Amino acid sequence: MNAIEVTELSKQWGQTKAVNGISFNIEEGEVFGFLGPNGAGKTTTIKMLVGLAKPTGGTAKVAGYDVVEKPRMVKKHIGVVPEQSNLYDELTVYENLRFVSKLYHIPSTKIDQRINELLETFKLKEYTARRFRKLSKGLKRRTVLAAALLHEPEIVFMDEPTSGLDVLSARRLRDLISGLADSGVTIFLTTHYIEEAGQLCDRIALLVRGDIVELDTPEALRSHVQDTPIIEISYNGEELTPDDLQTIKATDIKVNRNKLSIRTENIDRALSEFIKIAEEKGAKIQDVQTVKPGLEDAFIQLTGLSLDHMEREKEGKR
Amino acid sequence: MSLREELGGITAIIEKDLKAYYFKPPNISWGILFPIVLALSFSLRNPEGLTDLAPGLISMATLFGTTSMEAIVITFEKRVGALERLQLAPISLTSILVGKILGGTIFGLVISIVMTLLATLFLGAEVTSLSMFIVVLILTAVAHSALGAVVAVSVKEVFEAQTLSNYFRFPMIFLCGIFLPLAKMPTLLQYLARLLPLTYSVEALRACMTATSDNILADTVILTGFCVLLVYLSVALFRRNQES
């Protein structure tokens, strides 16, 4: 059975089309990744699905309820982890969770029991009496996630859940998300961290300028670029410019200081061409490796966006 | 839509707002200090006339207490995404705004009660009709808290809310009969004053404090009308802004 059904969903702000008639279904218990650069329409799509914005075309059903006709029922069945940790700074962790419990009409006799379960699961017990503003970013994200789960929603929307977190906190949060998925909760996840989506998601939709350009499993998306291997070459000496490398026949060449990344159908030929250039320029090869293309490569190939663009996106989020 | 669920949501929002914003020591002290300073300033200028000014000072303190805090709380929550959290909960937009307005109302009532105590205990003012006085105080706090909400949902930033609030508040101080009786004002200004809720608050409170019942019922009905109108307006503007 489908947890989310989206048919020809559109949103237009004035003359600007934010979402262009997208369609997809998400099965119950699935972890669904929604990837795309800023302005692709991810947040607008989420806003329509959670009842914060009205579509200008198409339909969407969440937990079996139409988002326009029954937004209140939709809200009862979903939890939302927004990108911004938007709990209340002046309230403690416990007070925040208690407030959210009341908003979701959890019977007062069950509130404390449910809060304690979540404090335990999210390892927040020792911070119960701490004000939200005094928590670290990682603890704030865990508290926000706990708040989204208080009413035991069937579907959880997560917008950039690990954005701005350090490596350890991000890993801990990913583990919690995986645990949640294992317990059968449907997860709709947006993230800029493509490899994170690859680890967590059963399927990924790539959204560019309001259109879904690809929707498949991470493995299937990777397979789009698996046939085109990448060689990475490290060298000493003067830094080579893209002009120096013009004679190499390749699908894509990236230069990053004294490291080159060449995507090519013919590794031997590209390598021998590079050796010639290196000799001419006095560069000394340090290391050569063949790399299996990842999901990021698939994303770049399928969306037509550059790596620089993606990096700017990531930096913008930090 | 269950009424119990809506009331539960409203109560939760009031409780949270009072705890998170209103009943913080700086806000309480500002809310109480403001009317005290006003009372002292006027007593220095005209010690005998202070009793006459008491109804106006109480209304004015309520006006400033409610509109300032309400506008700050709502705009702040809009900016940090906390208002969106409320919109994601299964309660209506009307309940969210009513919860916010009632939080501001309680804060305004606390300030007006302090001001009333000061006026009666130290300045010789009298409340001759306590039950009507309480009704008018509540209506005054609701109307002006809702006015703060109207301002807050119409702007994006806290400073914009403060500036816009002042466009309403300062003319109200001079037009609504606090310092100068309405009858002594030019006819055009009298008509203008009749468009502002504070005029009816001052008039009704004065009636409750001077043993006269002039227009008190009409003032109360009109104030109730302002409460309904401003709550409706805040919800409608919020809904419209959300969609755009």
Interface residue ranges in chain A relative to chain B, Cβ cutoff 8 Å = 50-54, 72-73, 75-76, 80, 82, 84, 86-91, 95, 99-100, 102-105
Report which DSSP code applies to B22.
I
Instruction: Give yes or no for residue A58 having a pLDDT over 70.
Output: yes
Smallest Cβ–Cβ distance between A52 and the set B11, B87, B92 belongs to: B87
Chain A CB contacts of B91 below 8 Å: 103
User: Given this model, what pLDDT does residue A205 score?
Assistant: 94
DSSP letters for chain A: -EEEEEEEEEEEETTEEEEEEEEEEEETT-EEEEE--TTSSHHHHHHHHTTSS--SEEEEEETTEETTT-HHHHHHHEEEE-SS--S-TTSBHHHHHHHHHHHTT--HHHHHHHHHHHHHHTT-GGGTTSBGGGS-HHHHHHHHHHHHHTT--SEEEEESTTTT--HHHHHHHHHHHHHHHHTT-EEEEE-S-HHHHHHH-SEEEEEETTEEEEEE-HHHHHHHHHTS-EEEEEEESSPPPTTTTTTS--SEEEEETTEEEEE-S-HHHHHHHHHHHHHHHT-EEEEEEEE---HHHHHHHHH---HHHHHHHHHHH-
Mean pLDDT (whole number) for A211-235: 83
- Whether residue B11 and residue A103 make contact (CB cut-off 8 A), yes or no, is no
Would you state the pLDDT for residue A307?
A: 55
CA dist., res. A66 & res. A60, Å (int): 6
Number of domains within chain B: 1
Q: What percent of chain B has pLDDT over 70?
A: 93
CB neighbours of residue A262 within 10 Å: 24
Q: CB within 8 A of B16, min separation 6: which ones?
A: A88, A91, A99
- Rounded CA-CA distance A294/A230 in Å is 10
d(CA A182, CA A203) in angstroms, rounded, equals 15
% of chain A with per-residue pLDDT over 90: 48
B108 vs A263, more confident: B108
What is the per-residue pLDDT for B1?
59
Tell me the longest C-alpha to C-alpha distance in chain B: 56
CB contact at 8 A, A31 and A202: yes
Give per-residue burial for A221-257: e unless 16+ CB within 10 Å, then b: bbebbeeebbbebebeeeebeeebbeebebeebeeee
Which token pair is A90? 């002046």
B89–A104 CB contact, under 8 Å = yes
For residue B242, the chain A residues in CB contact (below 8 A) are 52-53
Query: What is the CATH number that goes with domain A2-222?
Result: 3.40.50.300
B205 by DSSP, 3-state: which?
Answer: helix
Contacts of B87 in chain A (CB under 8 A): 52
Q: What's the order of all strands across the beta sheet hosting A284-291? A: A252-256, A259-263, A230-236, A284-291
- Predicted TM-score (pTM) of this structure: 0.82
Of A209, A188, A211, A219, nearest in space to A295 by CA:
A219
Q: What residues in B contact A84, CB-CB < 8 Å?
A: 80-81
CA distances from A156 to A4, A51, A53, B243 (A): 11, 14, 18, 23
The pLDDT-based confidence of A270 (bands split at 50, 70, 90) is confident
Of A111-115, A225-229, B144-148, B200-204, minimum mean pLDDT range: A225-229
Predicted pLDDT at A309: 60
Residue B130 at interface with chain A, using a CB cutoff of 8 Å: no
Among partner residues B80, B91, B242, which is closest to A103 by beta-carbon distance?
B91
Identify the DSSP state of B2: -
Report the distance separating Cα A214 and Cα A219, nearest Å: 13
Per-residue pLDDT, B165: 87
On the question of pLDDT at A170 being above 60, the answer is yes
Distance from CA of B73 to the nearest CA of A (A): 12
Q: How far apart are CA B34 and CA B45, in angstroms?
A: 17
> Is residue A206 a contact partner of residue A216, using CB atoms and an 8 Å limit?
no
Q: What is the mean pLDDT of each run of 10 residues along chain B (244 residues)?
A: 89 94 78 72 71 85 88 91 93 95 94 88 85 96 96 89 86 85 88 94 91 82 97 94 73
Question: Per-residue pLDDT averaged across A182-208, rounded?
Answer: 90
Q: Are B204 and B219 in contact (CB under 8 A)?
A: yes
Answer yes or no: do A102 and B88 touch at CB < 8 A.
Answer: no
Any A CB within 8 A of B11 CB: yes
A-chain residues within 8 Å CB-CB of B84? 52, 82, 86
Task: Please tell me what DSSP assigns to residue B210.
Answer: T
Please, which residues 224-243 of chain B have a Cβ atom closer than 8 Å to chain A? Answer: 242-243
Cβ separation B88–A51 shorter than 8 A: yes
Question: ∠B212-B215-B216 over CA atoms, to 5°?
Answer: 70
Q: In the prediction, which pLDDT does A226 show?
A: 63
Rounded to an integer, the average pLDDT of A38-49 is 90
Q: What domain range includes position B76? A: 3-243
ipTM above 0.85, yes or no: yes
Contact list, A87 vs chain B (CB under 8 Å): 82, 85
Which of B10, B16, B243 best probes binding to A when mutated, by most A CB atoms within 10 angstroms? B16
CA distance A292 to A306: 19
Separation between Cα atoms, residue B38 and residue B111, nearest integer Å: 13
- Would you identify the CATH topology of the domain A230-317? Alpha-Beta Plaits (3.30.70)
Amino acid letter at A160?
Answer: E
B19, B86, B89 member nearest A91 (Cβ): B19
User: In chain A, where does the domain assigned CATH 3.30.70 lie?
Assistant: 230-317
pLDDT reported for residue A318: 45
Residue limits of CATH 3.40.50.300 in chain A: 2-222
Chain B: residue nearest A132 by CA? Answer: B20
